[in-house]
Structure 1
Amino acid sequence: MTEVWKPSVTAAAIIERDGRFLLIEEHTSDGIRINQPAGHLDPHESLIHAVIRETLEETAHDFTPTALVGTYLARYFSARTGKSNTYLRFAFCGTLGASHDRSLDHGILRVLWMSRDELAACPERHRSPQVLQCVDDYLRGDRIPLSMLHTDPSVIGNNHD
């Protein structure tokens, strides 16, 4: 039997305040990069839970998703390692909540706010091309209601892997 190909599923938060977007600066295998608060979907969690958790871990802030901005399928190739991976990104917009006194996730250097133009001026620093694409889709008004996302209870329940 051959191995089944599976993309890595990630959830990202698009958070805008006064024309600026909340971003993180992080260590990656290709150096220091800018990204939205984002990360992998963990076993036994919904996409909504994943984006809430990742935002808290990477920014020390609560996040309340209000809509799905879009889904993005992209292949990433690391010039440093020569390896590639395909990512399926679900980008959510929403509101930033309370700040917590806690450490940021391993590898996160800092949280920063940037305008769309500031972000567009440094594409070489982006974790992926989807960073700017998500912002542009958000600014265009792309929104999919959260009611369109469905997570079967078997995902979250106490099942066997």
Structure 2
Amino acid sequence: MTERYRPNTTVAWVVKSPEGFLFVEEHKRGQVLFNQPAGHIEADETIIEAAKRELYEETSLRSDPAGLVGIYQFPSNDNSVIYVRFCFYVELDAAPQLHPIDPDITACHWLTLEQLDRKLLRSPYVKQCLVDYMQGQRYPLSILTCSLIN
């Protein structure tokens, strides 16, 4: 019998403003890492609810997603876990002052792609999501059907 596939499902955001793209700074295993606002889906929430919650917890920003950049499947750095990441996007008219609520996030930054290239990333998919967005990859939220009720 084949082992059942059980990926960790996560959500992430590409948030664009006139100041750049939003990234969060976190300290993991003695390193300063950069990521999009991102996190895991909890048992009692839809994919979109999880995205909105993670964005708020990591940055204090409340926003609805404008659409989806893509869905990504990839292994952890040590190949012990497989992730499926739903990456959303939103474009802001101004860059608000942000402050992390989640204690694992130490700061929020507005960065350009060039500035991001000088940072250590949580995973290669941080940059991949941004590049896909910058190349115009966008899908309407209507491609998702999110319901927790039969």
After TM superposition, the score normalised by the length of structure 2 is: 0.87
What aligned pairs does 1:1-161 form with structure 2 within 5 A after superposition? 4-18=4-18, 20-29=20-29, 31-78=31-78, 84-95=80-91, 104-122=101-119, 125-154=120-149
User: Which moves more between the two structures, 38-47 or 98-107?
Assistant: 98-107
Q: Deviation per CA, 1:32-78, whole angstroms, max 9, x where unpaired?
A: 21000000011121111111100000001112201100011110124
State whether residues 73 and 87 of structure 1, in contact with CA within 8 Å, keep that contact through their aligned partners in structure 2.
yes
User: Which moves more between the two structures, 140-149 or 102-111?
Assistant: 102-111
Greater percentage in strand: 1
- Measure, in 1, the Cα distance between the counterparts of 2:61 and 2:108: 10
Larger Rg: 1
Q: Percent identity?
A: 37
- Measure, in 2, the Cα distance between the counterparts of 1:19 and 1:85: 34
Unaligned stretches of 5+ residues in structure 1:
156-161
State whether residues 61 and 98 of structure 1, in contact with CA within 8 Å, keep that contact through their aligned partners in structure 2.
no
Runs of 4+ with >6 A deviation? 97-102
After TM superposition, the score normalised by the length of structure 1 is: 0.82
Unaligned stretches of 5+ residues in structure 2:
none
How many residues are paired up? 149
Q: CA RMSD in A?
A: 2.5
